[in-house]
Chains A and B, each alone.
Chain A
Amino acid sequence: MADESKEQIASWLKDGLDAYGDGNTSEAIVSWRKVVAADPENVEALDFLQSADRREFPRGGKDDRRGPADRADGKGEAKGKDEPERKDPGDRAEFAQQDVIGIARGLIASGQYEESLELLQSANEASEFSIELEATIELVRSNLFATYLKSIGDLSAVPRLVADPAEITKFNLPKDAGFLLSLVDGVTSLANLMTVSGMDSFEVLRTTKNLIDVGIVSMQNE
């Protein structure tokens, strides 16, 4: 599969997830069906479609299919007393988390750690604490940490500013990166930057990697 297709598929998967997170299951299904159309063997999309199906038809299949009253936004017709209980928002969040984790694992399997982490972190911010979600995030972070470290060198390496200071504002950096950059003095090692910045070690490494990639800093091994 071409890289562009991979990106497109990742985008559809994410669009679907966003829609699903908003309770717009039909829209989510449309996105994931696009994925399956492009890649019939896509495990994540298939898995997610199953989850969406469970949300749409929670009691034993399509015969039990309910109307718009069961949409996540809660709008629609009132149901009768024999109709199934609606799932509360917590349950929906659990469903969504499971789906996200499934997609994230798929991304991990295809080596897309960055995308996986972004997805998981978005889900983590939007939902309640889930040990499985946290564990998956940690798994991705530890993989990325090792990858970044391999690329940068070791933690005793010293980042140095190589870009023209006057040109730095042309980049579009987040303020955390700006803060980290302000601590880069050509003397302080990466390990010490992790300590003095007070930032999460992983974020320091990730930000440094990004700063290297865009040509703002370079590393010098001591």
Chain B
Amino acid sequence: MGRVIGIDLGTTNSCVSVVDNGQPTVVPNTGGYRTTPSMFAISQDGKRLVGHLAKRQAITNSKDTVYASKRLIGRRFDSTEVQRSIDLCPYEILRGPNDDPRIKIGSKTFTCPEISGIILREMKRVAEEYLGEPVQDAVITVPAYFNDTQRQSTKDAGKIAGLEVLRIINEPTAAALAYGMGRQNDEKIAVYDLGGGTFDISILEMSDGVVEVLATAGNTFLGGEDFDRRIVSHLVDWFQANEGIDLRTDTMALQRLKDAAEKAKCDLSIRESTEINLPFIASDAQGPRHLNYELDRATLEGLVDDIVRGTLKSVEQCVQDANLDPADIDQIVLVGGQTRMPLVQNAVTEYFGKRPHKGVNPDEVVALGAAIQGSSLVDEEDNVLLLDVTPLSLGIGTFGGHFARLIERNTTVPVGKAHIFTTTRDDQSAVKIRVLQGESDIALENDLLGEFVLSGIRPAAKGEPEIEVNFDIDANGIVSASARDLATGKEQSITVNATGTLSDEEISQIIEENELYEVELKG
């Protein structure tokens, strides 16, 4: 078996790493960047772009540039997140045949696993170029709150990218692993993850190699890009007040402002002020106009203070959900580039009463953890034992619309549970079972993973046949089921109508189609 890569498939940026000579190392892409924007576009001249090049034209070609598709993966079209994305995203999101969201760019409609597959394929290519050898095996990270469908869809994305996904692990777990936590001591860890497009806070308990996610909270529509937008808005207002020109409708100007805002924000994490110079940003009868503005840290902090305070509300909620006090937390781990901002670090320090753990790049820590996990899966000498827990309870819909839990949340995975089903009518030949994941006692309020149809039940009086269905959650958090007739021992056929995930035929078809389209521009 070749080397295993670890991929942090982020909402805004992705990162790939590998264990090299025993050390986890981030693999830079051809442009020298250590992270790659999770963006895919079809340019105005019809080329397929991924990564930095897709990002550089994201505003001027907004309708045909996909970003943050991770918010959509594995969700139902009618879900709140998809509907909100439809309101916010310039690209077109359509209802797919499986009730899944699909994205139309150019003249083609893509599934979400297909988009993620394109990003993952690029990360695979980056790793292969760096290692000088083909790469097949990968560990991919997902948010701790991802349900079965989202995890399965991410695994499908890996398959589309030509990867064998050895394991799907939770992002906060990977981060904690990269920090080397929990190997010796029992610790409670807060992972504060403020990325480009999402904010997640997770409280983990690590003990003897078992990582339990005690609680998780956050906001899937809050991240560093909100900070950028505040800066852009500030600059646009300033320019209009000083030059009398409104840049809001000029996409070229907005693209420049967005890039400059992101750069200024990064500069201000290490210095007190920075100059923003955008020559020839506009022109009028008097000639060209230039934007020259000095942004200082205090002004930036004033612009985004409410956003940072808003994250602390989620932190507080999460700590409460874990039945802990802030003082109970042993370590605080920061993840995501936005956590470099001193305002964020100070707010976290103030809340927990201790400074966050230092030493690992917050952009890279999740990918590094994934690589460590990947290495331990193939290297017998590397005895990292990592056992995640299932983030959501698994159960079935019962008469009256109730939800019967079969596997409770926070159960260490892999785990299996059997349940006996029988018939309610004489000679009933089939039973339909709805499998759900969630915490509500009302079936409808949970995520429908699939409908299991037990068919070919032998003719018998009602209540006589006993069919045992085994529900299994593997180490990836992915659910499967099998059934047998207890009286005869015969395996019972099960048809799984999974919602929102792709069939094997669909995946094969996508792989074939993608082979025809080599991504033309990368970086």
State the A residues within 8 Å of B (CB). Answer: 165, 168-169, 172-179, 181-183, 187-188, 192, 194-198, 201
Contact = CB atoms under 8 A, between A and B. Distances in A.
B280 A196 contact: no
Contact of B280 (A165, A174, A187): A174
B280 A181 contact: yes
Contacts of B521: 192, 195
B86 interface: no
Contact of A178 (B44, B49, B279): B279
Contacts of A179: 252-253, 255-256, 280
14 contacts: A165-B277, A174-B288, A175-B281, A178-B278, A178-B280, A179-B256, A179-B280, A181-B280, A182-B256, A182-B259, A188-B53, A192-B521, A194-B45, A198-B251
B43 A196 contact: yes
B61 interface: yes
A150 B343 CA distance: 53
**Size bracket of the B interface:** 20 to 34
A118 B503 CA distance: 56
Contact of B61 (A173, A192, A198, A201): A198
A175 B245 CA distance: 13
Given A176-B252, A179-B252, A195-B57, A169 B290 contact: yes
Interface string B280-296: 11110001101000000
Contacts of A177: 280
B281 A178 contact: yes
B56 interface: yes
Contacts of B279: 168-169, 173, 178, 181
A196 to B, nearest CB: 4
Nearest to A195: B43
Interface string B233-265: 000000000000000001111011001000000
Interface string B1-41: 00000000000000000000000000000010000000000
B470 interface: no
Contact of A175 (B31, B57, B253, B259): B253
B60 interface: yes
B256 A174 contact: no
Contacts of A187: 31
B283 A197 contact: no
Given A165-B277, A175-B288, A196-B43, 7 more contacts: A169-B290, A175-B252, A175-B280, A175-B281, A175-B282, A175-B283, A176-B252
A165 to B, nearest CB: 7
Nearest to A165: B277
Nearest to B58: A196
Interface centre among B256, B280, B521 (most CB of A within 10 A): B280
Interface centre among A168, A177, A198 (most CB of B within 10 A): A198
B259 A172 contact: no
A172 B31 CA distance: 32
A173 B281 CA distance: 10
A164 to B, nearest CB: 12
Contact of B56 (A172, A176, A183, A201): A183
Contacts of A169: 279-280, 288, 290
Nearest to A170: B279
